[in-house]
Amino acid sequence: MSAVLEWTEVILHYTTLLCLIGLAVSLVLLIYRIVVGPSNPDRAASLDVIGVCVMATAAISSILLVTTKLNDVILLIGILSFIGTLALAKYIEMGVIIERDAD
């Protein structure tokens, strides 16, 4: 039984490392899409997906480090990414983020 547990631990380690490499490649491609993107909505979508990739990176790092301390970090990244996406969408739609009265 102990040999099976050691084998699964090795598989989990290699799988998480492979996932981190995949996330790093996708982050590089998303940054390229932000820089070169053909339109502003494409850039906004890329920023939103970058937030999801950073959350996934924190989750996989939490699995690798065998800790639950990064759960709060994952939630904070999700909230900030959502607020940033809303602000960027409002800016793209209206041209301003905070509307001011002419009075």
Residue 103 within a domain: no
Residue 102 within a domain: no
Number of Cβ within 10 Å of residue 62's Cβ equals: 17
pLDDT of residue 41: 84
Residue 101 within a domain: no
Nearest by Cα to 57 from 65, 31, 84: 65
Residue type, 35: V
pLDDT of residue 103: 61
Q: How many domains does the chain have?
A: 1
Residue type, 54: V
Residue 90 within a domain: yes
Which residues of the chain have a pLDDT value below 70? 102-103
pLDDT of residue 21: 96
pTM: 0.82
Range of the domain at 78: 2-94
